[in-house]
């Protein structure tokens, strides 16, 4: 009778989990539908921008919490091929639903469409800013006819490019992706989002390989594939950040297999999509520090490829209207720690004298830069004991970059997601329901402290618990050693 009762309880529990997972899937698909509905209403001017942003927050916070609950349920169940297939199909369905509507709320994609057209025509996207092209001249120098003709062909796209006084900030590999989308279908966000989906497909395949190499469950892809921030920012907002992920995850897989030269080649190509992945090079090469001779070839590949990739930007990278310079010197948005540093610096400097107040931001950037470099050096110099150390340290480096950066846009969070499939962190995963608050910061500026403060409190709690566990373990070891009579 007892065995029957236990079996019945187990069956009920299993059925309850299945029902809960069906409910999670239904809610996430409904969220995708809500994003599509919201985009159509916004583009059709049936909702003003802030109203649309408010609705986005209302939809996205519960979706983030449901996603976390659903992923937790999946990770508690045994990994099966059926479960993995269900995860993949659900994620594909979510993306397909959002892709039925035009991008909205964000406008970075206008720059992608324009840059793609310029690059596809064999022109230099770094030479002229949109404002210069719209004016038709720079002083007495006229804009080249092919660019003026392209501006006419673009319709209103060029007029919608944000920060139009600056030349493009996107590196050459990103430009190739923009040009590819343009060649598939000119001026089309559909072709652009299909390209993003293809990049994600490659990432998913490589991520499966990484999980296999590390001996982790395949169902851990759910932390990446179902994340609502990724769905909203990549397919709802058409941001380009997933283009980085196949290169980065591939570089990590190859580093774990000791194929360092090819790993560095992929990492250098990732740096051609956005510059920041180069910070991972010391971590991926960390195990070679004990044998410096073996560093020569991977470093040569990395530095040589990086130089070749960035070569097209050099003639215009330091110009007065360079997007690269503007981003490095002044870009700041939605930051937590950096804002505290910058405001504290201004307050202290104001006591010294008014002219020094303006040094607050460069000093804060310097502190953040030095802190990040010291953190990466520490992660790189620690001995690699287990195969999971490499992706774990990469996760810690990218997390530090995101947490300390002057700009903490929600789409930057996508950089962390493949690593969180390998090293799930509750504090970092909590951004899945906190980051949507970004969209109401114009109405409630103090919301930024809630957005990031919760994460830092959870991180502090996690670190404190870890220290307590380590001390307790050492105390138990010490007592056991004394009791053994040694």
Task: Write out pLDDT tens, residues 335-384.
Answer: 999 999 998 888 888 777 666 677 888 999 999 999 999 999 999 998 88
Residue 434 has pLDDT above 90, yes or no: yes
The two beta strands, 141-142 and 137-138, are antiparallel
* pLDDT, tens only, 185-209: 999 999 999 999 999 999 999 999 9
One DSSP character per residue, 360-393 reads: HHHHHHHHHHHHHHHHHHHHHHS---STTHHHHH
Position 10 scores a pLDDT of 53
DSSP state, residue 353: -
Structure tokens at 288: 């070679």
Band (1; pLDDT cuts 50, 70, 90): very low
Position 483 scores a pLDDT of 54
> At 137, which helix (H) or strand (E)?
strand 137-138
Beta-carbon contacts of residue 325 (< 8 Å; ≥ 6 apart): 317, 318, 319
Average pLDDT (111-132) is 95
Q: What does the alpha-carbon distance between residue 237 and residue 108 come to, in Å, rounded to a whole number?
A: 8
Q: What does the alpha-carbon distance between residue 223 and residue 226 come to, in Å, rounded to a whole number?
A: 6
pLDDT, greater one: 43 or 6: 43
Position 164 scores a pLDDT of 94
Position 7 scores a pLDDT of 47
Q: What does the alpha-carbon distance between residue 86 and residue 22 come to, in Å, rounded to a whole number?
A: 10
Average pLDDT (208-218) is 95
Percent of the chain whose predicted confidence (pLDDT) is above 70: 93
Residue 5 has pLDDT above 80, yes or no: no
Is residue 143 within 8 A of residue 150, CB to CB? The reply is no
Average pLDDT (230-245) is 97
Question: Against a cut of 0.95, is the pTM above it?
Answer: no
Is residue 119 within 8 A of residue 176, CB to CB? The reply is yes
Residue 151 has pLDDT above 70, yes or no: yes
pLDDT, greater one: 345 or 179: 179
Average pLDDT, the chain: 91
Is residue 102 within 8 A of residue 149, CB to CB? The reply is no
Band (290; pLDDT cuts 50, 70, 90): confident
* pLDDT, tens only, 243-285: 999 999 999 999 999 999 999 999 999 999 999 999 999 999 9
DSSP state, residue 232: I
Is residue 206 within 8 A of residue 74, CB to CB? The reply is no
Q: Name the CA dihedral angle for 375, 377, 378, 379, rounded to a multiple of 10 degrees.
A: 90
Beta-carbon contacts of residue 94 (< 8 Å; ≥ 6 apart): 28, 29, 31, 32, 226, 231
Q: Lowest mean pLDDT: which of 117-131, 209-223, 352-366?
A: 352-366
Q: What does the alpha-carbon distance between residue 127 and residue 273 come to, in Å, rounded to a whole number?
A: 18
Strand partners, 114: none
Is residue 5 within 8 A of residue 23, CB to CB? The reply is no
Q: What does the alpha-carbon distance between residue 425 and residue 443 come to, in Å, rounded to a whole number?
A: 30
Residue of 139, 70, 60 lying closest to 432 (CA atoms): 60
Average pLDDT (234-246) is 97
Is residue 75 within 8 A of residue 209, CB to CB? The reply is no
Band (473; pLDDT cuts 50, 70, 90): low
Residue 8 has pLDDT above 70, yes or no: no
Percent of the chain whose predicted confidence (pLDDT) is above 90: 75
Position 2 scores a pLDDT of 45
Residue 121 has pLDDT above 70, yes or no: yes
pLDDT, greater one: 64 or 18: 64
Residue 444 has pLDDT above 60, yes or no: yes
Residue of 456, 452, 385, 397 lying closest to 423 (CA atoms): 397
* pLDDT, tens only, 17-52: 889 999 999 999 999 999 999 999 999 888 888 999
């Amino acid at each position: 009778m007892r065995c029957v009762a236990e079996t019945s309880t187990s069956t009920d529990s299993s059925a309850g989990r299945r029902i809960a997972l069906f409910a999670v899937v239904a809610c996430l698909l409904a969220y995708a539908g809500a994003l599509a509905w919201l985009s159509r209403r916004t583009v059709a001017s049936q909702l003003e921008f802030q109203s649309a942003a408010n609705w986005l927050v209302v939809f996205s916070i519960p979706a983030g919490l449901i996603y976390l609950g659903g992923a937790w349920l999946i990770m508690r169940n045994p990994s099966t091929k059926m479960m993995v297939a269900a995860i993949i199909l659900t994620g594909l369905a979510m993306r397909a639903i959002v892709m039925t509507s035009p991008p909205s709320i964000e406008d970075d994609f206008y720059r992608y469409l324009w840059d793609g057209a310029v690059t596809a025509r064999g022109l230099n996207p770094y030479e002229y800013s949109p404002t210069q092209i719209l004016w038709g001249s720079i002083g007495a120098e006229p804009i080249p006819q092919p660019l003026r003709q392209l501006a006419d062909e673009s319709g209103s796209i060029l007029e919608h490019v944000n920060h139009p006084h600056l030349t493009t900030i996107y590196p050459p590999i990103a430009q190739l992706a923009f040009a590819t989308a343009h060649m598939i279908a000119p001026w089309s966000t559909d072709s652009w989002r299909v390209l993003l989906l293809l990049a994600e497909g490659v990432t998913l395949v490589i991520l499966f390989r990484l999980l296999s190499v590390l001996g982790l469950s395949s169902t851990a892809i759910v932390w990446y594939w179902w994340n609502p921030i990724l769905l909203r920012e990549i397919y709802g907002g058409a941001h380009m950040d997933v283009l980085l992920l196949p290169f980065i995850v591939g570089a990590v897989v190859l580093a774990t297999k000791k194929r360092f030269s090819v790993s560095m080649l992929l990492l250098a190509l990732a740096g051609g999509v956005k510059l920041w992945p180069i910070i991972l090079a010391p971590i991926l090469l960390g195990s070679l520090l004990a044998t410096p001779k073996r560093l020569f070839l991977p470093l040569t590949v990395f530095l040589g490829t990086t130089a070749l990739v960035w070569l097209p930007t050099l003639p215009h990278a330091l110009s007065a209207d360079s997007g690269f310079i503007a981003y490095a010197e002044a870009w700041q948005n939605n930051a937590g720690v950096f804002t505290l540093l910058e405001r504290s610096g201004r307050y202290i400097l104001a006591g010294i004298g008014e002219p020094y107040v303006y040094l607050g931001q460069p000093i804060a950037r310097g502190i953040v830069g030095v802190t990040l470099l010291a953190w990466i050096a520490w992660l790189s110099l620690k001995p690699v004991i287990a195969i999971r150390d490499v992706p774990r340290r990469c996760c810690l480096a990218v997390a530090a970059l995101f947490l300390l950066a002057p700009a903490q846009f929600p789409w930057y969070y996508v950089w962390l997601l493949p690593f969180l499939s390998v090293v799930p962190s509750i504090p970092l995963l909590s951004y899945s329901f906190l980051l949507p608050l970004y969209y109401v910061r114009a109405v409630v500026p103090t919301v930024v402290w809630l957005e990031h403060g919760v994460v830092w409190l959870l991180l502090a709690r996690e670190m404190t618990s870890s220290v307590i566990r380590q001390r307790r373990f050492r105390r138990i070891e010490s007592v056991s050693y004394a009791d053994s009579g040694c």
